[in-house]
Each structure stands twice: as C-alpha cells, then as structure tokens.
Amino acid sequence: MHFFSDNATPICPAVMAAIAAADHADHGYDGDGWSARLDGAFSDLFDTPVRALWLATGTAANSIALATLCPPYGGVICHEEAHIVVDECGAPGFFTHGATLMPLPGDGAKLTPAAVTERLKMIRPDVHQAPARAISITNATEYGLAYTPAEVAALGDVAKGHGLGFHMDGARFANAVAHLGCAPADITWRAGVDALSFGCVKNGGMVGEALLFFGEAAPARAAQALRWRKRSGHLFSKGRYLAAQILAMIEDDLWLRNARAANGAAQALAAGATGRLLHPVQANELFVRLTADEAACLRAQGFDFYDWGDGAARLVTNWAQDAASVAPLAAALKALDHG
C-alpha cells in the first residue's frame, strides 16, 4: 500500500471520462469550448468574477502567479518550508527574472501576521535592499494544516496595508476547504487573496492545474500570465484536454468529494497513530514519529512512505482511499505500541 504522495495516485474515472469526451476536433491552444468555460465555471464557484487559465504543473502556476505580482527587484515573503522555497528548483526566481524569496519560520509551516510585519520592518526603504512586493502562503500547508478564513484575512490585511500582492499555493486547496467546511471565497478573495494556484492533479487529475486571479487587477494579471505561459513553453496546443479535466473537477463538486475521501482516510490513520502525531491532521497528510526499526517493520508489511527527517515519517492519503482501505495501516500503526 502506497502512502508516498497523492501525486502518484490513479486518475479519477470522471476525469478520464472528461478527457475522452473532449477527444474530438476543436480549436487549438485555449481557443476551444472547454477553455472558454473556465472563467464562468470558477466565477460561479467563487461567487465573484474570476480570470482562470490552465497550466501543466503547480510549479508553473505558482511561479507565473508570482511573476505577475512581484517585479525582478522585489521580494516574496513566504514560509521557509514552502514548496516554492524547497521543492521548485528556483522556478519562482526564474519566472520573475530574479525576485528574492524572503523565507520565515512558523509552526506547521504557517506564516503569522506578526512575523510578516516584523520582516517588513527590517527592510530599509532605499535602493540597497529588495523591497517586499508579495506574500505567498500554502493552504493546506506543507504540514497539512489549514489556514482558517480569519488567518488568511489577517495576512490579507497586512498585504493590503503594505501594498503587497497576495498569492496562495492551493495544491491541496480542496483538502483545506473540505476540512474547514467554508466557502472557497472565504479563504481567497474575501480574505484578500489576489492569485490562487488551484490544485487538481493531487486530487485525481491526470495533468493540469488552474491559475485564478481575483479582483480589479485580475484581467491585467491574467493577460501577463498568458504571455508567461506561452514564453515558458506551457501553452499546450491541445489545451482542451487540460480544461476538460479541471471542469470535470469543479462543475459537479467532484473536487470536494475527492478531498473529503482523502481527508477521511487520513483521519482513520490518525486514529491508529494516537500519541505519534507531530501535527494535527486537518487535510490528507500525517507526520508521525517512527523509529528506524518501526519504519522497517511497517515496510516489511508492504506499506510505503517517505522518511521525514530523523525519527519521523510522512503518510499521504488520496481521493481513491477511505477508512476501510487504510485500515490495515491504521492497525499496523496501533500494533507498534503493543509490540
């Protein structure tokens, strides 16, 4: 049983069916009927006008979003363990033509308004230092915690007060919304978010993520993003196959059903890992204390996962699992305490 990553899961059947349904001649690039529906579909989902475009990867979505919010001489305040810092091979700097990432610590990979404000105070208003121009957060975070609407809004207030763009990496946005039970708008544009990388692949897609822009500046930023998409080699000639997957996710709430299944499986594992959890389980990731011998014992039983530093492991559930399917691992975790 694999718990490495939700990137490695099979494609959701409804998404595969949507790809098949799009398999006939139409206009190329993003001139097809599916791509044309993205703005309207996301506007309905977020209850506000949205500019939406498909991209091949989450790295491209994050980096292009930041390129529209931050100039080459600017800086992006983010968490020190954010995906854009440790897992994107310098892509944000590449796309922004050199903008500086300004990483900060924070429990559970969360930024706080106080930490951001203190960092802003440290930047001198002269030409010798890079000025902050954007804030980027991940929801759910790299440790599986969900920013609440109030937490996002507090950071949004800091961004607005200092004239900063506000980006959210939503690779597991669906899992955060499923956990919080809030409207998608409550943790995005209503809380001050300007750009959202809306994850699909981790939630059952094959390839393709959505980049969304909110607010009065959305049309201008989307126009920039379209240029970046082409210039970086991310403009698919048959974009309808990406758009069809994204639409299949959001038009019938498949994105939430899949996320709820993954979250539920994570909760079932958490019940078997009592006393071992390093962070609260709010999405579909668990970080648990395991000795090397305990990890070897689990692997010998056929459970695969990543080690996460010394004496810890990360377990990731996915849309195709539920409490029953992960029960063997939950039992194996519980048995470690009685071995």
Asked if residue 214 lies in contact with residue 189, where contact means CB atoms within 8 angstroms, the answer is yes
Mean pLDDT across 132-136:
98
Asked if residue 58 lies in contact with residue 197, where contact means CB atoms within 8 angstroms, the answer is yes
DSSP 225-274: HHHHHHHTT---TBTHHHHHHHHHHHTTTHHHHHHHHHHHHHHHHHHHST
DSSP 94-138: HHTTSPEEEEE--GGG---HHHHHHHHHTS-SSTTSPPEEEEEEE
- Read off the pLDDT of residues 76-127 as tens digits, 9 standing for 90 and up: 999 999 999 999 999 999 999 999 999 999 999 999 999 999 999 999 999 9
Give the pair of three-digit tokens for residue 257.
């059903």
d(CA 294, CA 336): 7
The DSSP letter of residue 146 is P
pLDDT of 1 reads 85
pLDDT of 8 reads 87
Task: State yes or no: pLDDT of 201 exceeds 70.
Answer: yes
Asked if residue 209 lies in contact with residue 201, where contact means CB atoms within 8 angstroms, the answer is yes
Is the model's pTM score more than 0.85?
yes
pLDDT of 338 reads 76
Task: State yes or no: pLDDT of 248 exceeds 90.
Answer: yes
CA distance to 67, 149, 193, 194, per residue, from 185 (Å): 23, 9, 9, 12
What does pLDDT average to over the chain? 96
- Read off the pLDDT of residues 21-68 as tens digits, 9 standing for 90 and up: 999 999 999 999 999 999 999 999 999 999 999 999 999 999 999 999
CA distance to 67, 81, 174, 199, per residue, from 87 (Å): 18, 9, 21, 16
pLDDT of 339 reads 61
CA dihedral 193, 165, 144, 198 (to 10 degrees): 60
What percentage of the chain carries pLDDT values higher than 70? 100
Mean pLDDT across 207-213:
97
As a 3-state breakdown, the chain gives helix, strand, coil percent values, each rounded to 5, of 45, 15, 40
Mean pLDDT across 250-278:
96
